[in-house]
Structure 1
């Protein structure tokens, strides 16, 4: 005897099995409908009718439409056929995929490697600009398709062009491929038909397909879109010209798409080549000549131009609490050069305010002795100008003595100008425990070399070398704007120099002797000594 509970359990199990079977049938039905939709949407679109190319670089593999039309509530697919790519990204009106339903109902078809997106039933919100970005590791390509959704009642107007062809250039003997495509709609009438054919404009007739010409008509989207390929193998000269693709519908409405097939002519003109070579040589010669001229001008006037620029445009070092432009330090045996020429010229001719200090009585350690006597005056001076010679180093003109002197000076002032009266000794590249060497210290100061050969006051200072010397010294001194008083003073000195030229027989020796032992402190004292 079977109990009531057992019968009830079997009935429930039967109902559950029936519900599960219904779910499976529904899923299969949806899958079949999806497959049919994709088939109707040309799932092999990017595989068929591709360009004949064995290349592997990034490129589109067939003609891609610029405009797409679709009737509302129908299936629609968009394609971005390419190869040699690493990724394909889709955008609608600049917004990246995926899109919410209110933006677009299109989704990716993964089996096409992201080359296709589709919608089983489009709506008005699906209209817009769809762009695909195709790229690999080095390059990228963009293509944009404008989608227009028609009214659900259908379309029976003039065919709408979808692909905009460009003039095609080929060589004789190569293969030419022309393409046209238009949206024609669909009318459910027994005698409804759409057609497409190619014409040669100058021949006033349709293209006859001989063995070299091949016309292939294509349709998609449930025959609402009609297109055609014209393939010409082994192009001859008589094949060049204008071709027109005409697509018409049942109501004898048509759209014409024209494209020119042109020849690529390898053009070689020897006369133009010779002219081009001459122009290249002239340009090359002009560049070399200009470069040499600029180098020569810089070597001749570059230093003076830098000084003029510094004095004219650089910020003046005024109102800094300092009284002097330069503290000039020297040894007693160099007083002829310092007091007889250097300081007077800086003060009278260039209007700098100088203070001098001789170091002849110091014979101890540079670091301690120089710091003790120069620390105070250096604080009131914008530059520390030191005349370097064997005498200031106790007749020890060596790299070790010079290193010790420069090291001591750098502890006193941070802006130092060194005038070397003799060529410097050979630098020792060996660095000390602090990682310093003589070369390092020489880069920290502004070094100017003095050349005394053939120099004479009023005469020798006109030579090029001495002009460069004074320009080098002034370049490292503070920027200075000349006052009217200084200009007037220089004019008076020039007049005095011209008036006394005849009586100055041995001016070089006289000026040096009269200045020995004199310490100049300002421009007025320097002027008195010079006069």
Structure 2
């Protein structure tokens, strides 16, 4: 996924440290009758990314059931982080209230909910912006977003979902759209034939966030390839995505696998030849050694036989002279 912003602008993002599991609240006791299975659970879902503006009041919600304690963390550090004049907890720690937000309040806030035996947690990334922000739309990447590349089969329906921060002053005035790259040309989806699709857009966070969803229905051959989503607020930001054909990926994998097998077979062949060469060399060395030893032994035997003959002749001559 490639993101292109015109003009570029630096955006401060919060560092994320997720706290969950055992620890806070273990050993406490429920003050009310448990609901359902008695395990701690959240009342409703919230956005994984929330916004506020410098000088504004902001509430982060962690409303839950079946709990006896709720512990808050900011980037891994437990509450409190500043004085109670700046932030405090309400409603049995289910709500974190930031009274006068500033850039130091940016970060990842995690609430850990416990019933004394089990715990659950969730995190919210808080972005703090100037009300006078006048930059290009910013892509929001969170667990809710599916603004990523996808892989599908022919006939399968695929959904792309991207969210952008527009800014406070341009709230409600932004727009989003989709394009398909056809023959290296960015083509608006509205003019492409033979692609069944459905688009939706929605504003949230006091109209400072816009979301764009694209459903590619019953994907055909011409639906695969490169797509682009753009957001505008006086500036323009583009995100490049791809829809890949799963069968093509399998073919590529098979080619790589086949090449790997061929390489492996070649390596095995070379290894066997190397072993045969070593064995042959060893046998040749052994045979040569045996042959040389045989020659030496034969020479020794011949020398001994010659020495015996000379001794016999000398003995015979001596006996003749004596007679």
Task: Write 1 or 2 for the structure with the bigger share of helix.
Answer: 1
TM-score normalized by structure 1? 0.31
Relative contact order, higher structure (CA 8 A, sep 6+) = 2
TM-score normalized by structure 2? 0.47
Task: Write 1 or 2 for the structure with the bigger share of strand.
Answer: 2
